[in-house]
Amino acid sequence: MNEFYFPSGVQSFPLDIPKIAVDDVDLWRSIYTEKKGPIEKTAINHNGFSGAWVGLDIYHGPNYSTSKDIYTANYYDCSKIFPNMFKTIFENIPMDINCIRVATSIKPFIPHTDFSIPVVSLRTILHEQNEVPTFFYVNNKGEKIYQTLPHSTNTWIYNDSTMLHGSDKLPNKSKVLFMYYGVPNFKKIRELADKSVVRYKQYIVPVI
Ligand SMILES: [Fe+2]
Model pLDDT for residues 135-152, shown as the tens digit of each residue: 999 999 999 999 999 999
pLDDT at residue 51 is higher than 80: no
Alpha carbon of 18 to ligand 1 centroid (Å)? 24
Alpha carbon of 179 to ligand 1 centroid (Å)? 10
Alpha carbon of 165 to ligand 1 centroid (Å)? 6
Measured torsion, CA atoms of residues 15, 17, 18, 19, in degrees rounded to the nearest 10: -20
Task: Confirm if 122 and 95 have CB atoms less than 8 A apart.
Answer: yes
Closest C-alpha among 171, 134, 168, 164 to residue 149:
134
Confidence of residue 69 (pLDDT cuts 50, 70, 90): confident
Closest C-alpha among 10, 50, 53, 63 to residue 181:
63
pLDDT tens across 1-50, in order? 789 999 999 999 999 999 999 999 999 999 999 999 999 887 778 876 66
CATH number of 11-200: 2.60.120
Task: Return the pLDDT at 54.
Answer: 95
Distance in angstroms (rounded) separating the CA atoms of residues 141 and 148: 20
Task: Confirm if 102 and 180 have CB atoms less than 8 A apart.
Answer: no
Number of DSSP helices (H) and strands (E) in the chain, helices first: 3, 13
- Strand 165-167 with 109-112, pairing: antiparallel
Alpha carbon of 81 to ligand 1 centroid (Å)? 28
Alpha carbon of 118 to ligand 1 centroid (Å)? 13
pTM: 0.95
- In the chain, where are the structural domains located? 11-200
Alpha carbon of 119 to ligand 1 centroid (Å)? 11
Q: What are the backbone dihedrals phi and psi of residue 147, each rounded to the nearest 5 degrees, phi first?
A: -85, 120
Sheet holding 53-60, edge to edge: 71-72, 37-41, 53-60, 95-105, 175-184, 120-128, 155-159, 10-14, 205-206
